[in-house]
Structure formats: structure tokens, C-alpha cells
A and B are shown apart, each in its own frame.
Chain A
């Protein structure tokens, strides 16, 4: 990687595990550019690999009326980072369903920058984090709506669940808006499993640990609905959760 090594002072790297990144920075590739031509669709499934440090950096350009949908699971044992920059032309649609799952001392972060450059674009980002041990899970998502990008519809839904004291959840859903006839909203919650749901599951016979595991799975699995090949990501998520719970 020829670019200078980042520092914590840079916003997009404020929660990063730079110590883990330093030794492998040379091998980190340049961001990959994906272009979706006007009217075309793209669906991507990003699953974790076995490496301790995993970086995925993508720049996605959507042409007019193009659409893209990405399912991503970020569960690196030491440091995982998904960096995604998306630009939308008129009428383009973008959806991201992503999860950070971590335990031990891992740091997993999803950093997005979605730019609505022209009118009528739609973007949806659904992020779920489940963190145990002393893991950290972060989402930094900037949505930019350019002047003139009217009728933009941008939504971010971010939820994080901490399982142990010492785990950390960071969310920064950012909006930078220069057009007025737009619908931009985001919600972020950090919390625990719903105790009534837990009781319901136990009252049907599930012991507490299994009830918790099932609910956590549901918390993350809701993301995978709509994936054309959901099994791969569901299995990967289940495996990652099993290591955490």
C-alpha cells in the first residue's frame, strides 16, 4: 500500500486497531473499484476469511437507475475493516446489510461513505453488531446529499448488542445534507436482549444460554433475508456467533 499509514486523528480511523494494521499495511491492496452501469444490478456477498487481519476496501459507482445490494459479515479474529464508498447517480439504489461480530480482543469496523450526487437516489444501511469479551465493533457511516440531489431517500439503522463488560460499541451515523426536499433519517441503538423475548423463549423450553444464542442469531439473521444465496452467510454468521456467545 503506497498511501501513507493512517493515524487516529483521521476521522475514518478513529476506532481502528492501528497496531494490528501496521505490520500488514504493505500488503493492503488499493481500493477496488466496482462500477454498475446504468440500469444494471449487482449483488455481493462478503464473508470473512481465516486471516487475523482482514481489510476490504471498495469504491462503488452506481450509474443512473442502477442498483446494488451488499451483504457483509465482518468477523475478523484480530482486526477487520470494511471500507465502502458509494456514489449514486440519478435514481440509483443502494442497500447494505452488514454485521460486526467479535469476541476476545478483536476490533471490527464498518466505515461507509454514501454520496447522493443526483436526485431520486435511495440508500439503506442496516448494521448489526454483537460483541463479547473485550471486542470493539464500530460503524462510521457518512451520508452526503449534494446540493440539488432532491428526492433523496437515505436511511441508516444501526443496532449493537454488548454481551460482556469490556466490550465496546461505537456508532457514528453522520448526515451532511445540502438539499431540502429529501427524506434522511437514521436510528442507532445500543442495548441488551429484550428480557420479555428471553422469557418467551425459555417458557417454550429453551435453557437460558440457548435462548440467548437464538435471539442473538435472530438479531443478526434479520439482515440476510432477501439474499439470493442466504445459506452461506447464515452459516458463517452462525459460526461467528457461536465463538462469541
Chain B
């Protein structure tokens, strides 16, 4: 009971549809501050839908239930307000924006968040310093961030860039949608270290949405949940993830 009061993120009986089709069918979940939770599930189970609903993507309709963040009604906030409140979504397929420089994009976004929170904005110089630091920590050349957003980036580079963003934004809660897909062993290790470095803190939380178990060896979850047909069917610890890896999702049915 007290767990729920400390919950950073609470999802309560969430029902959601995409293009009229029901995808989430009563999903409930709470992530206390200071914890990393993992969600695993077969394709089509609703993993990305959950991520998009939490981030507020148009086209994803909530028909029943709700979600709170730090006690506030999350679903009542616009996407940019959720960002300012400290929510970060790592996209499964990061979007390309030709013509817009990555650095400019991130600086303007960060400053918009800071303005909304009543914090001072960063100057150009201060921002580059911050960005450089985060990029280096994730093994990414700052030159890449002078390019247009994600244009010409490989799949793995896009995921890495998402983590650099996360380092720059310093969110309170990160929802990472299949961040490990497209990463080779080295990149996986670096990204894992990045997540641990940026998000492991008593007042932060992470929801790792993943198909494979391997990221969880780098970022040890406190809880693992299985998502099937739009709801959580099982919860456990890392052993559950290892069982799934060994036996597959069909076994659970």
C-alpha cells in the first residue's frame, strides 16, 4: 500500500485504442521512485502503445483508466508539458528531421522545458559544453550532433543519440522503448552504462520496454512485468526475464 504512495509513475487499469483497435486492455503498473522496471512481451502485445500513450502521441486514444506521474494526472498534460514535468520517451524508431540541426533542436527543447519550470535558460556556449560531455560519455562524436536530427544515422547511432538526449534533459522518469534493438555488444554495454549513470537515483525511475533480455543484464531491473494482449499477466524479478529468454513467450500462456 505504501509502495503506491511512493510511486513515481502509476498506471491504473489503462485501456487504449489505436485507429479504433483496442490494444491496451486494462494495464496496471506502479513504479516507485528509485526503481527500474522492465516490461517484456511478444510483438503486438502493446509495448510501444504503452510508451506512446504515456508520452501523449496523437492517434492513441485512452478509453478507460488513467496514469499519474508524481501524483499528477499525466494524461491531462500535453506532450511538451509532460517533458517539462520530467518525462522522457526514448523512441523505438527515432524520427529524422531534415534541415534542423540536432544541437539547435536539443538546445531549444531543453530551454523550453527550463522556461516552463521557471529555470534559467542555457546560453549557446553552456549548452554545447553540456552536450559535448554527454556525447563523449556515450562514445558519440559531437560532430554528429551538428548534422540534421537523425539524418544519415544508423539504427544504433539513433539509439545512442536518444541516450545523449536523455543525458542532456536529465529527466525524472525515462520510458525507453526497445532501446537495445539495433545495438551491437559494445554499444549495448555503453548504452547500459549510460542508463545507469543518468537514471539511477533515489528520486528517479525507469521503465525499460524490451523484447530481449540482454539489456537487463546491464541495467538490472527491480521488477520485471510481462505484457500480453494489452495487460500485465505476470510480474517477477530478473529470473522471470531469464526464464522467458530461455523458453519464449508461448510457454506463459
Q: Which of B187-246 contact A (CB under 8 A)?
A: none
Out of A202, A205, A222, which one reaches B98, CB within 8 Å? A222
Nearest Cβ distance between residue A231 and chain B, in whole angstroms?
13
Q: A201 contacts B97, CB within 8 Å?
A: yes
Q: Are B95 and A200 in contact (CB under 8 A)?
A: yes
In the assembled complex, the Cα of A176 lies from the Cα of B94 at a distance in Å of: 41
**Contact A221 B99, beta carbon cutoff 8 Å:** yes
Is A207 in the interface zone, CB < 8 Å from B?
A: yes
From DSSP, what is the main secondary structure of chain B's interface residues?
A: helix
A200 to B91, CA, bound (A): 9
Chain A residue numbers with a CB within 8 Å of B169 are 204-205
Contact residues in A for B82 (Cβ distance below 8 Å): 203
- The verdict on A201 contacting B89 (CB below 8 Å), with A195-B58, A222-B98 known, is no
A13, chain B: closest CB distance, angstroms: 31
Min CB distance A173 to B, Å, is: 20
Q: A85 near B: Cβ within 8 Å? A: no
What residues of chain B lie closer than 8 Å to A200, measured between beta carbons?
91, 94-95, 97
Least distance between A149 CB and chain B CB atoms (Å): 32
* Chain B residue total in the interface (Cβ 8 A): 31
Q: Are A204 and B95 in contact (CB under 8 A)?
A: no
Taking a contact as CB atoms under 8 Å apart, the answer to whether B148 and A222 are in contact is yes
CA distance A175 to B14 in the complex (A): 55
Chain A residues with CB under 8 A of B100: 214-215, 217-218, 221
- The distance in angstroms between the C-alpha atoms of A222 and B152, with both chains bound, is 14
Quick check: is A206 within 8 A (CB to CB) of the other chain? Answer: yes
Which residues from B are CB-within-8-Å of A197? 95, 97
Query: B55's contact among A203, A214, A219, by CB below 8 Å, is which?
Result: A203
Which residue in chain B gives the minimum CB-CB distance to A195?
B58
Give A190-220 interface residues, CB cut-off 8 Å to B: 194-197, 199-208, 210-211, 214-215, 217-220
Interfacial chain B residues near A205, Cβ < 8 Å: 80, 83-84, 109-110, 112-113, 116, 169
Contact call B109/A204, Cβ cutoff below 8 A: yes
Residues on B with beta carbons closer than 8 Å to the beta carbon of A222 = 98-99, 148
B57 at the A interface (CB under 8 A)? yes
Partner of B112 from A194, A195, A199, A206 at Cβ < 8 Å? A206
Q: A195-B58, A200-B91, A211-B80 are in contact. Are A206 and B109 (CB under 8 A)?
A: yes
Q: How far does the alpha carbon of A173 sit from the alpha carbon of B221 in the complex, in Å?
A: 57
| Cβ of B49 under 8 Å from chain A | no
A214 touches B57 (CB 8 A): no
Given A201-B97, A204-B165, A218-B97: A210 in contact with B55 (beta carbons within 8 A): no
Which partner residue on chain B sits nearest A198 by CB separation? B58
Which one of B79, B106, B108, B113 has the highest number of Cβ atoms from chain A below 10 Å of its Cβ? B79
Interface residues, chain B, with chain A CB atoms under 8 Å away: 55-59, 78-80, 82-84, 89, 91, 94-95, 97-100, 104-106, 108-110, 112-113, 116, 148, 165, 169
| 23 contacting pairs across A/B (C-beta < 8 A) | A194-B95, A195-B59, A200-B94, A200-B95, A200-B97, A201-B105, A202-B83, A203-B83, A204-B165, A205-B80, A205-B84, A205-B109, A205-B112, A206-B80, A206-B109, A207-B112, A210-B108, A210-B112, A214-B100, A215-B97, A221-B99, A222-B99, A223-B99
Please name 4 further chain A to chain B contacts, defined as beta carbons within 8 Å, in addition to the given A195-B58, A201-B97, A204-B105, sorted by A numbering.
Answer: A204-B80, A204-B83, A205-B110, A218-B100
